[in-house]
Amino acid sequence: MPEPANPVTGTQYEISAGDYHATITELGANLRSLRFGDTPLIVGYEADEVPPAGAGELLVPWPNRVDHGRYSFRGQDFQLDLSEPAAGNAIHGLTRWASWQLIAVGEDNAELGLRLLGRPGYPFCLELRALYRVSATDGLEVTVAARNAGSRPAPYGTGSHPYLRASSGLVDDCALKLPATRWLAADDRGIPVGEPRDVAGTEFDFRDGRPIGSTRLDHAFTGLARDGSGRAWAGLTGPAASLALWAGEGYNWLQVFTGDALGQERRRRALAIEPMTCPPNAFVTGTDLLVVEPDASVALQWGLQAIAP
């Protein structure tokens, strides 16, 4: 069946270099698909399908959750809409369902932008850009930039939500390598409880790489080890692919999710490794929360590549 003239995810931007092929959508500036040759590296979805379980979404101006949507900033109290009503949280920012405008597109890159104007709960103005680029040698590189176009300092965080695929089956037999020394416990609503804990001696220690097995993961990790260029590298290896995700400086957290809470079709079928600048509920706690001053900008990068066997 041919794609509809006006799919629900809007205009599709196809980019490629070497064996890498990616699709970016007008809706949310989302990463709808990423392939290496014929091998899908992430969970994709159809152009006329709403992104399932946040697949490939860009999260701005906060990743993850805000407890009951309530926070204080610079002496003022704010109430966000509860976009996760069942848990009573505000989740994954304000731009996932927005129509992002094309800035530039080439064979190997696409850049989209959005002017996020003030609204109840977030009375700030940000000019946002998302640049996706693929390289035949280095795979996907994503740059997320924000400029404060308003008159007052703005609280800010960002994250991305790719579900990595290294197997056509469950993630249980895939090996995970995670460069994190601390993990953050959360309650059943996804809100952190207490301070980050040492991974040593726990089921959350994947520093040396090992099979995921039956471990249930929906946790934020921090204390990331980095290479000489400032990148923190996570790896997922399975029978279908070996993948490496890197998080540049400023991405201090990785949310890792085995999808146990998803429906049977998606439960433990892929592993979300989400680069985040701050942990869940950072608008409340202030942990690693960025503050963008008027006319100031912040830009961050992450990437994903296939590793040759």
Instruction: Express each pLDDT in 169-222 by its tens digit.
Output: 999 999 999 999 999 999 999 999 999 999 999 999 999 999 999 999 999 999
Question: Cβ contacts of residue 156 below 8 Å, gap of 6+?
Answer: 60, 61, 62, 126, 146, 277, 289, 290, 291, 292, 298
The two three-digit tokens of residue 60, written as one number? 């701005």
pTM above 0.85, yes or no: yes
Question: In this predicted structure, what is the pLDDT of residue 65?
Answer: 98
Looking at per-residue pLDDT, the higher value among 6 and 293 belongs to 293
Instruction: Express each pLDDT in 152-167 by its tens digit.
Output: 999 999 999 999 999 9
Where do the domains of the chain lie, and which CATH numbers do they carry? 12-306 (2.70.98.10)
Q: Is the pLDDT of residue 123 over 70?
A: yes
Are 248 and 227 in contact by the 8 Å Cβ rule? The answer is no
Instruction: Express each pLDDT in 33-59 by its tens digit.
Output: 999 999 999 999 999 999 999 999 999
**Mean pLDDT along residues 224-240:** 97
**Mean pLDDT along residues 131-138:** 98
| 252: region left, alpha or beta (phi > 0 left; psi from -120 to 50 alpha) | alpha
Among 155, 300, 167, 158, residue whose Cα is nearest residue 237:
167
Question: In this predicted structure, what is the pLDDT of residue 159?
Answer: 98
**DSSP percent split of the chain into helix, strand, coil, nearest 5:** 5, 45, 50
Give 308's pLDDT tier (boundaries 50, 70, 90): confident
Q: Residue 146 burial by CB count (10 A; 0-12/13-18/19+): exposed, middle or buried?
A: buried
Question: In this predicted structure, what is the pLDDT of residue 309?
Answer: 64
Q: Is the pLDDT of residue 91 over 80?
A: yes
The two three-digit tokens of residue 104, written as one number? 């530039």
